[in-house]
Amino acid sequence: AEATGKPAEAILHLEAALNPPQSLGEARHLLANKSDIEYALGVSHAAAGNSAEAERWWQRASRQAGDFQQMNVLTVSDMTYWRGAALEKLQQRDQAEQVFRSIAAYADELEMQVPKIDYFATSLPTMLLFREDLGHRNRVLASFLRAQATYGLDGAEAAIPMLHAVLTLDSNHAGASDLLQEAKLAVPATIVQGGSGSHTSVRTR
């Protein structure tokens, strides 16, 4: 809806995503990070001309710290990127860079870990159905986090090959696919300086 110039329709979909229906029989965990949806709501409100409402949603996204995934409370997750992106929208570049650097640092740490399933992790449906390769899952996540951090720190052009690498490891990675589409839209903003072959990237998000 957003891509076809219908921000009002996008807002309705995002608000629905933020509030899952009771008929699902399961609510979002209280510690789950929702900054991706809140950031997108800010983008859609900005496109609709509601600057005050856009800022309100970006403020909410910028305050999302930590996450709850795989039955664990996490300081950094793949949702942390959207907190940094929201801080950028709010013109708080220094704070945004700190967030992106924390993602990169966690990616390095993750690659050094030996993954294991917690004894009390009873709500991991994939582990009940499949023999999941935990090491591979760690590599995919670390690669995606590093691509997110690169996007935030160095721009879309630098992140694109890294996002392709994530999709090579996991062709069904929704986060990498979505961010890659966004990155490809940003790349045409690159200014190419004639003659020298050098170029200056215009960071856009």
| Averaged pLDDT, 127-148 | 78
- Which of the pair, 77 or 87, is modelled with greater confidence? 87
pLDDT band at 190 (very low <50, low <70, confident <90, very high): very low
- Which of the pair, 72 or 174, is modelled with greater confidence? 174
- Cα 38 to Cα 83: distance, rounded to the nearest angstrom: 9
The residues with which 200 forms a beta bridge, in sequence order, are: 191
% of the chain residues with pLDDT over 70: 74
- Cα 13 to Cα 40: distance, rounded to the nearest angstrom: 11
The residues with which 192 forms a beta bridge, in sequence order, are: 199
Cα-atom radius of gyration of the chain, to the nearest Å? 18
Query: Is residue 162 predicted with pLDDT exceeding 70?
Result: yes
E strands along 55-198, which residues?
A: 67-69, 72-74, 191-192
Query: Is residue 95 predicted with pLDDT exceeding 50?
Result: yes
